[in-house]
Amino acid sequence: MSTNSTDSTSAGSADQRADPPRRPDGDEPQSRTHRKHLIGQLPGPLRSFLATEAGGATLLLVAAALAVIWANSPWSASYEALWDADAVIGLGPWMLEMHLGHWVNDGLMVVFFFVIGLEVRQELATGELTDRRRVVVPVLAGIGGMLVPAAIYLALNAGTEAAHGWGIVIGTDTAFLLGALALVGPAVSTQLRIFLLTLTVVDDLVAVSVIGVAYSDDLDLGALAFAVVCLIGLVVLSRFRVWRAWPYVLTVVVLWLATLASGVHPSIAGMAAGLLVPAFLPRRQEVEGAARLFAAFRQSPRPDSGLTVQAGVARSISVNERLQTVLHPWTSYLIVPVFALANAGVDLRGGVLADALGSPVTWGVVAGLVLGKTVGISLGAFAGVRARLGSLPQGVAPGHVVGGAALSGIGFTVSLLIVDLAFGDSVIADEARVGVLLAAVLAVAVGALVFRLAARFRGETNASLPMVLSDPVDPVRDHIRGPVDAPLTLVEYGDFECPFCGKATGVARELREHYGDDLRYVFRHLPLPDLHPHAELAAVAAEAAAHQGRFWEMHDLLFRRQDELEVEDLVGYAADLGLDVEVFMRGVDKETLRRRVREDVASAEASGARGTPTFFVGERRHLGPHDTASLIAALEASRAPA
C-alpha cells in the first residue's frame, strides 16, 4: 500500500513530480559571500553570540598588544604602579583590600570561570553533551591535549624550579580559540566549533581544578567548609526550582568571599558555581503562560501587568541562560581584555627577550602548547575513532581536527593566570609569559596553514552539517499536503511531543492559505526520545493511521493533544477518527512502520537536522526563525528565476 497521504483538498497526481534540481553538498567552494549568507540566516541571539566571541577575541588581542607596548615604553613604571596599587572595598567595619592586579585575577576572573561553568552546565543539560556517545572522542582529545603538553614541558624542565609550572601548558583560551577559528578556520565551521568547545570543557574543568589544588596554599578549613555550604545552597536553590537570579548571584558572591579566605584560588569556586545553576529547555506551559500574560498586558497596558509579563517571561527561560545572556558580553568585552592588559605586559628590555629565547622554560611552554596540543588532541581524537569508542561530529574531517588542535595551543588567559600563581613576579615568570605569547602567535600560524592545506589537497573546505536534503521528496512515500507538482516545497522534520512543532502546525496552515496550490508541504518524522518519551510511539501511530488513509487527520489530532500520547490515548484517537482499531493496533506493533520512522530519522541526520522543528525550503535547510513571515521570505527566495 502506498504511504503517500495527499490532503483531500489537494490537486495533482501522484505520478507527477517536479523535484527541484539537486545541488552538491560540500563540494562547492565556500566563498566569503556564502559564509556571510549562512551566518545572516542564523537566529539573532546566535548571531549576537558569535559576534561577541569574534569581537571579544579582537579586544583581547588589542589589550595584550597594548600591555606589551606599555610595559616596554618610557612609561613602563606607570604600568607596574597601576596593577600594584591598593584597591579597597568596604562596608562599615568589613574591609577587603587587594592590589588591583589581584582584584583582576582573583575577582573579575571568577566571573569569567562562572560563565564557563554556566556554559558547561547548559551543554550537559540541553546541548551537545546530552548525547554521551558524542562526548567520548572530544573528551579523549581533551585528555591527550593535556597529558602530552605537560609531558613535553616536564621533559624540558625536569628537576628544576620551573617544573612547578607544568600547569601552564594544559589550558586553552576558549575565547581566543574561537576568535582565531573565525579568522583562519574553514568558511563554515559550526560542527568543528562544537567539537572544540566540547574538548575545551575537559581543559577548563581540569585546568581550574589544577589551579584550585596545585596552586593553592595555607588552607583555612573553616572558610573552606563555609564555601562547601554555599555550594550546597546552590543545589538547594536548583532543587526547589528558584527561578529568580538574585538568590544565585548572592550565593555566588558569598561563595567567592569564603573561597578567597580559604586559600583556594577563587576560580574553582566560579566554575563549580556555574555548574550548579540549573539549565533547561523552555517549558511549554510556562511559555504559554507568558503568552497569556502578554495578551492581558496588550489589552490593559498597566505598569503592574507589565512587571507580571516580565516575570512570566523570565520564569519560562532558565536562570542559567539568563545569566549567560547578561554576563557573556561583560566577560568578552571587559573582563578578559582587562585580564590580558594586567598580565601580558612583559618588559623585554635589558636582554630579557634574549634570555627568554634561550630559556628551557620559554621553549617548554612553546613546545608544550604548540606541539603538545597539536599532537595530543589529534592522537586522542583519532585513537578514539580507531577504537570505535565514538566518531567525529558529522562534517568534521581529519584536517579540521589537526587544525583545531593547533589553535588549541593558544593558552593565553588560563596560562597567564597559572604563570602568576606558579612563579609570581620573577625572571622565570617573564620567560614563561614570553613563551605563552610566542605560542599564541605560532599556534594561529600553524592552524591557518593546516586548514589551508586540508582545503587545498583534501577538499575539506567547511566543517558544518549538511545543508541539502539527503532524500528528495518522493510523492509515493512522503506525506504531502498540496499538489505534488507544486512549484514550492517545504519539508518539515517534526516530533509530535515537541511544543514548538505544535506551534509550527499553525505556521504551516498559514503558509498553505497564503500560497494555495503553489506549495506542497511535506512532513517527516524526527522523534527525540531523550526529550520526548512518547514521540516515537506517536510517530508510529501516525504511520498506522496512514495505512488506513488518515495520516493528516491523525497528524493534526496528535499535535492538538500533545500532552496525551499514552497507548490508550492513541487507541482512543483511532476510534475517534473512525479507524479500524484492531488493524490500527496491529499496525502500531509492526516492525515495518517502526522502520519507516527510523528511515525518516536517518534522512534527517544525513541532511543536518538535529532538532525540531527543522525546515527545508526546496532541498536547502532553512536557518533562522521559522515564523510565517520568515518562511514566506525563504520560499520566495527559492523561486526559480523567471
Concatenated DSSP letters for 42-108?
A: S-HHHHHHHHHHHHHHHHHHHHHHHHHHHHTSTTHHHHHHHHHSEEEEEETTEEEEEEHHHIIIIII
Q: How many CA atoms lie within 13 A of 508 on its CB side?
A: 28
Taking the C-alpha atoms of residue 434 and residue 357, their distance in angstroms, rounded to an integer, is 8
Query: Looking at residue 391, what is its pLDDT?
Result: 86
Query: Angle between the 319-330 and 109-126 helix axes, to the nearest 10 degrees?
Result: 140
- In three-state secondary structure terms, 481 is strand
- Kindly report, residue by residue over 403-418, the tens digit of the pLDDT: 999 999 998 888 988 9
Domains defined along the chain, listed by start: 32-216+265-282+317-458 (1.20.1530.10), 479-638 (3.40.30.10)
The whole-chain average pLDDT of the chain stands at 84
Write the DSSP symbol of residue 168.
G
Averaged pLDDT for residues 248-277 = 89
**For 127-149, how does the pLDDT look when each residue is reduced to its tens digit (9 = 90+)?**
766 776 778 999 999 999 999 99
> Which residues are registered as beta bridge partners of 489?
520
pLDDT over threshold 80, residue 39: no
Mean pLDDT, to the nearest integer, of 538-546? Answer: 95
pTM: 0.69
In this prediction, residue 1 carries a pLDDT of: 39
Name the grid cell of 382.
Answer: 583519532
The SS3 of residue 195 is helix
Contact 167, 411 (CB under 8 A): no
Residue 52 banded pLDDT, cuts 50, 70, 90: low
Candidates 454, 384, 378; CA nearest to 409 is 378
How many other C-beta atoms can be found within 10 angstroms of the C-beta atom of residue 402?
21
Q: Which of 237, 239, 241, 242 is nearest to 255 (CA)?
A: 237
Half-sphere exposure of 122 (CA within 13 A, CB side): 18
Computed from CA positions of residues 92, 98, 104, 107, in that sequence, does the dihedral angle turn out positive or negative?
negative
Residue 120 or 108, more confident = 108
The reported pLDDT for the residue numbered 26 is: 38
**DSSP alpha helix (H) spans, 263-387:** 267-275, 284-299, 303-316, 319-330, 336-343, 352-357, 360-366, 373-386
Q: How does residue 640 score in pLDDT terms, banded at 50, 70 and 90?
A: low
The highest-confidence range among 150-154, 172-176, 192-196, by mean pLDDT, is 150-154
Number of neighbouring beta carbons within 10 Å of residue 250: 12
Which one has a higher pLDDT value, 624 or 319?
A: 319
Model confidence at 590, pLDDT cuts 50, 70, 90, reads confident
The grid coordinates of residue 270 equal 566560579
Instruction: Give the separation between CA 617 and CA 622, rounded to whole angstroms.
Output: 6
d(Cα 165, Cα 214) in Å, to the nearest integer?
10
* Three-state DSSP state, 243: coil
Please report, rounded to a whole number, the percentage of residues in the chain having pLDDT higher than 90.
46
pLDDT confidence of residue 574: 94
Share of the chain above pLDDT 70, in %: 89
Neighbours of 568 (CB within 10 A): 8
Stretch 433-443: mean pLDDT: 93
| Three-state secondary-structure class, residue 493 | strand
**Which residue matches cell numbers 542564523?**
42
For residue 310, which of 321, 325, 297, 323 has the smallest C-alpha distance?
A: 297
Give me the phi and psi of 13, to 5 degrees please: -110, 145
d(CA 548, CA 580) in angstroms, rounded, equals 8
